[in-house]
């Protein structure tokens, strides 16, 4: 791999083997992140995401391979690398004995930001993160979402070029999650490079311009979310909600739909309605989006679900709109009617299943 000095992050054949562990946590990863990019490392628990972030942020010593942040070799010059980077770790590491403003100020002092400048930045960042009134309160007074905001604000105190966010929204409620998403978009607008890890495909496709799908310490695929999903066998999906059908009739309908020439596969899907957080405009918007697909369910297991009026997900080759009429016709022929129909594209979840045979959750 040739190193491009202008890249914000370069990971080259990186390997990390923890002592006494039989398998490598990171097993030959390579990728590069352009300046100003939001880059996602998407993979299940144990994939090696945190270890990779650990190497890039100089907390973990690699077994072999190289890593650069802002052109600085993180192993050869960790102090130099730390001037350019900041990290929001997966676990809360705020100092509970300090107020949130003091947490910000101490971090900036550690990084050599002059006093006047640190006071100014702390005020500005607390304001920007909706914590302007609460700077003097201790960490314990804050919710999980608020603490995550404090950690991101703290990370920005020394104006890093590259920000690493390790599972920035895991465990947050929907409104807090959307708040973090908005801040990440703002950071991108201001030119900061963001590398985030997640096991949430929505988060990866919402935020990241490119995504590396990782599993067992290796990069399985790396591209834009659109290109990754386009690589799947079906090029489009049609999600159809039908009125209740009895088990046998539902099976017959699925078979009839599978016989359509452009239908590659039919899945019965369980749906999860988007969660609360109605005081946040984006959360309201989210509830009007298509319900999330929670994964494929073996056809035989779900007669009851279909009988109560569930969704069918069709993976199609070619033009989705052209399939609406023939699909509707078969639904009607089998004694049901369509209550909702949505044309979509396969998700990153489908890409992960395609690559590994497992679900991301
Ligand atoms: N400090 C450690 N010592 C030994 N094994 C570890 C340590 N940290 C992580 N691992 C192991 O390395 C693998 C990758 O972990 P991690 O990088 O935390 O993955 P992820 O962040 O994707 O969940 C896992 O099998 C995990 O158990
Ligand atoms: Mg992790």
Cα(40)–Cα(223) distance, rounded to whole angstroms? 10
Give the CATH number of domain 233-345. Answer: 3.30.70.1340
What's CA 67's distance to the chain center, in Å? Answer: 22
pTM for this one? Answer: 0.78
Domain residue spans of the chain: 9-224, 233-345
Query: Are domains 9-224 and 233-345 of this chain identical in fold?
Result: no
Tens of pLDDT along 321-338?
899 999 999 999 999 999
Cα-to-centroid distance, 175 and ligand 2 (Å): 22
Taking phi over 0 as left and psi of -120 to 50 as alpha, with beta for the rest, 2 belongs to: beta
When mean pLDDT is compared across 197-206, 268-277, 335-344, the lowest value belongs to 268-277
Q: Is the pLDDT of residue 298 over 50?
A: no
Candidate CATH numbers 3.40.50.300, 3.40.50.2300, 3.40.50.720, 3.40.1440.10; the one for domain 9-224: 3.40.50.300
Cα-to-centroid distance, 108 and ligand 1 (Å): 29
Residue-averaged pLDDT of the chain: 86
**Strand, helix or coil at 193?**
strand
Closest-approaching ligand to the CA atom of 170: 2
Probe residue for ligand 1, chosen from 26, 48, 60 as the CB with the greatest number of ligand atoms within 8 Å: 48
Angle ∠(74,85,120) on CA atoms, nearest 5: 150
Tens of pLDDT along 245-288?
877 888 899 999 999 999 988 887 654 333 333 333 333 333 33
Ligand 1 atom nearest residue 43's Cα: 22
* Sequential DSSP letters for 225-239: HHHHHHTSS-SEEEE
């Amino acid at each position: 791999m040739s190193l491009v000095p202008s890249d914000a992050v370069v990971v080259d054949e990186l390997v990390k083997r923890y002592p006494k562990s039989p398998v490598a946590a990171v097993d030959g990863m390579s990728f590069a992140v352009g300046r100003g990019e939001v880059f996602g490392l998407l993979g299940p628990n144990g994939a090696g995401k945190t270890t990779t972030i650990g190497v890039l942020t100089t907390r973990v010593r690699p077994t072999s391979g190289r890593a650069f942040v802002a052109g600085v070799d993180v192993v050869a010059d960790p102090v130099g690398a730390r001037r350019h980077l900041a990290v929001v770790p997966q676990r809360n590491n705020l100092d509970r004995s300090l107020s949130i403003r003091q947490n910000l100020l101490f971090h900036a002092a550690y990084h050599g930001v002059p006093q006047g400048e640190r006071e100014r930045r702390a005020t500005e960042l607390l304001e920007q993160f909706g914590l302007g009134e609460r700077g003097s309160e201790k960490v314990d007074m804050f919710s999980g979402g608020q603490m995550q905001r404090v950690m991101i604000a703290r990370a920005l105190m020394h104006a890093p070029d590259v920000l690493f966010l390790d599972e920035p929204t895991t465990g947050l409620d929907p409104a807090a999650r959307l708040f973090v998403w908005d801040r990440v978009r703002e950071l991108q607008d201001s030119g900061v490079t963001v590398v985030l890890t997640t096991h949430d495909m929505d988060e990866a496709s919402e935020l990241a311009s490119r995504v590396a799908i990782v599993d067992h310490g290796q990069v399985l695929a790396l591209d834009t979310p659109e290109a990754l999903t386009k690589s799947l066998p079906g090029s489009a999906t049609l999600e159809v909600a039908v009125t209740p059908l009895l088990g046998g009739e539902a099976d017959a309908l699925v078979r009839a739909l599978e016989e359509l020439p452009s239908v590659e596969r039919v899945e019965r899907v369980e749906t999860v309605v988007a969660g609360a957080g109605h005081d946040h405009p984006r959360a309201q918007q989210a509830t009007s989006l298509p319900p999330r697909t929670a994964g494929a369910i073996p056809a035989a297991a779900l007669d009851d679900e279909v009988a109560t009026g569930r969704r069918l997900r069709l993976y199609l080759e070619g033009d989705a709109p052209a399939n609406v009429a023939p699909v509707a016709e078969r639904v009607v022929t089998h004694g049901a009617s369509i209550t909702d129909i949505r044309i979509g594209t396969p998700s990153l979840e489908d890409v992960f299943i395609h690559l590994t045979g497992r679900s991301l959750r």
